[in-house]
Structure 1
Amino acid sequence: MEDMTQTALIVIDVQESFRVRPNWKAVNHPDIADRVNVLVDAARAKGDLVVWVLHTEPGTGGAFDPAEGHVRLIEGLEPRAGEPILHKTSHNAFTTTNLQQIFTQHGIREVVISGIRTEQCCETTTRVASDLGYDVVFVTEATATTPLPHWTTPADATLEEILADPRTLSPEVIVERTEYALAGRFATIRTLDEQAGLVLRS
């Protein structure tokens, strides 16, 4: 019997806003666009829905302010005609967009998560999607993040100061903590090869 589960791949915040920040030098997956494209190609081959999400902070004058010109997909990512491109102002991809409505229109039951940052917008979207009743797959290898400073670290601390602080969490630790929190509760964790292989074989 054919599997009738309708699946959507969400590509969250893989945008130039992150690449213009100093801490991008310490990102764990500088090749995030290539990693996402593996999932995008597999999803398209299966006929799954691909949704692109961009984070915006209008009026802030920062990297996420659309007026600054950085709120665009990282080079190498090319949405196809008909693939939704949503702009959000919250950490998760649902609250400030019509994503759930789009999923309802397409009969989506399973959601695959990729994007930036692993522990922030990707994890938050995963938790909300799970609470909304979707089956969620979290492809950690198709997410990226940067070292996370302690919450008491001054906002103007340099990357060098952040990296020298023993309280700073490395991307490896962030990834491990995120997987521990999500697995078995909010999502199924899959590797890039597992997810792409599953899609292409099905």
Structure 2
Amino acid sequence: MPDPLPALIVVDVQCAFDEWEAAGKRRNNPDAVARIVDLLAAFRASGAPIFHVRHEGTKPNSTFLPSRSGYAVKDEAREQGGEPVIVKRVNSAFIGTDLETRLRASDIATLVICGATTNHCVETTTRMAGNLGFNAQLVRDATWTFDRIGADGETHAAESIHAMTLSNLNGEFARIVTTNEVIASLKAVRQ
């Protein structure tokens, strides 16, 4: 029996990040959401499973509280009928959710991970996927992050944070891939 198709894990593509950007936070990879849209179309066309992950804030000032506009998923990345939504309250999509159970029940071994932000929920979910024995693939052009102030008070550019996160994950926790590589791989499996 052939291996099942990979699953696409779309992490936290929510309006809160648009609000952060509108408030002046600077991000990298402005085409990331467009690449996520490409991945969603390819996975839907191939009949491969898609899991949408949504962050639910727990702190009173969180932009991810369900009662706030930031909780909503960006329209272009919204789930379609039958695509499950996993709601998490911490960085990892595996903690406090049934994601692992769902994946194991479907014999899914390969996870293609995209979304926001590279160095928070995407990284944590990817690390845990690798630790749990999944073949994790992180799509470098379908994730993004923001500039951050470090412990030393120095500003670290989103591009540098993104690159370092990918470097930290590469080879040990995941294989770093591009959207085009993933789509080509899906097409090859369908032939």
TM-score normalised by L of structure 2: 0.91
Q: Does 1:82 align with 2:70?
A: no
Separation in 2, partners of 1:24, 1:138: 27
- The count of residues paired between Structure 1 and Structure 2 equals 188
Q: Which residue identity does 2:162 align to in structure 1?
A: V
Q: Does 1:176 align with 2:175?
A: no
Q: Which residue identity does 1:196 align to in structure 2?
A: I
Runs of 4+ residues over 2 Å off in structure 1? 22-25, 29-33
Q: How much does 1:53 deviate? A: 0.6
Structure with higher Rg: it is 1
Q: How much does 1:3 deviate? A: 4.1
Q: How much does 1:75 deviate? A: 2.4
Provide the secondary structure at the position in 2 that maps to 1:111: strand
8 Å CA contact retained: 2:12, 2:115:
yes
TM-score normalised by L of structure 1: 0.86
After TM superposition, list the pairs within 5 Å mapping 1:90-129 onto structure 2.
Answer: 90-129=90-129
Identity rate, percent:
31
In the alignment, which residue of structure 2 is the partner of 1:46?
Answer: 46
User: More deviation in 82-91 or 15-24?
Assistant: 15-24
Q: Which residue identity does 2:119 align to in structure 1?
A: E
- Where structure 1 has 5 or more consecutive residues not aligned to the other structure, the ranges are 154-166
RMSD over aligned CA atoms reads 1.7
Q: Which residue identity does 2:118 align to in structure 1?
A: T
8 Å CA contact retained: 1:33, 1:75:
no
In the alignment, which residue of structure 2 is the partner of 1:137?
Answer: 137
- Where structure 2 has 5 or more consecutive residues not aligned to the other structure, the ranges are none
After superposition, give the CA deviation of every residue in 1:107-131 in whole Å (9 maximum; x if it has no partner).
Answer: 1100011000001111110110111
